[in-house]
């Protein structure tokens, strides 16, 4: 009798664990999230910005993508270990640095850091914060090249 109770409990436990694994690993029913790649150019008063960092903050879920801005003002966003980011609307922030070859800072570190004083940055303060920049990007499936920003 005791053996059958233990066997029954083990069986029920195995069934519950199997159900949890099946539901937890479903991955949304096989549905893939549409993604796109994003590249463009950042200029300041019509001239290439030079080195800097551009950060896209998703409006719907807080996801972030970040990319270094090259000396000619061009950028390509990076998301995780790849270059495709989920489609949707993004608020954009642009900051100076890091210098070429330096590691890209984590988006959460950028958000924690206070904006640089206006006298130390050629980028106007409003563009350094996605909440005040007024810069919006809509990412569509596939290639999104020419997503340019001219900071005025």
3-state SS, the chain, equals: CHHHHHHHHHHHHHHHHHHHHHHHCCCCCCCCCCEEEEEEEEEECCEECCCEEEEEEECCCCCEEEEEECCCCEEECEECCECEEECEEEEEEEEECCCCCCCCCCHHHHHHCCCCCHHHCCCCHHHHCCCCCCCEEEECCEEECCCCEEEC
Residues 76 and 13 in one domain: no
Domain that holds residue 10: 1-31
Number of domains in the chain: 2
Residues 88 and 24 in one domain: no
- Bridge partners for 82 per DSSP: 79
Pair of tokens at residue 29: 């029913």
> What's the pLDDT tens digit per position in 76-122?
998 888 889 999 999 999 998 765 556 666 666 666 666 555 457 88
Residues 61 and 134 in one domain: yes
| Global pTM value | 0.68
Residues 141 and 115 in one domain: yes
Residues 54 and 2 in one domain: no
Residue 20 has pLDDT above 60, yes or no: no
Residues 5 and 78 in one domain: no
């Amino acid at each position: 009798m005791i053996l059958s109770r233990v066997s029954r409990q083990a069986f029920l436990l195995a069934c519950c664990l199997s159900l949890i694994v099946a539901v937890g690993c479903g991955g949304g029913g096989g549905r893939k999230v549409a993604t796109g790649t994003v590249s463009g150019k950042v200029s300041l008063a019509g001239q290439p910005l030079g080195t800097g960092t551009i950060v896209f903050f998703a409006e719907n879920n807080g996801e972030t993508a970040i990319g270094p801005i090259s000396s000619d003002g061009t950028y390509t966003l990076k998301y995780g270990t790849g270059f495709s980011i989920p489609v949707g609307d993004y608020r954009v922030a642009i900051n100076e640095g890091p210098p070429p070859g330096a590691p890209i800072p984590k988006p959460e570190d950028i958000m924690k850091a206070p904006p640089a004083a206006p006298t130390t940055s050629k980028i106007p303060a409003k563009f350094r914060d996605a909440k005040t920049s007024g810069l919006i990007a809509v990412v569509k499936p596939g290639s999104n090249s020419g997503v340019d920003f001219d900071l005025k």
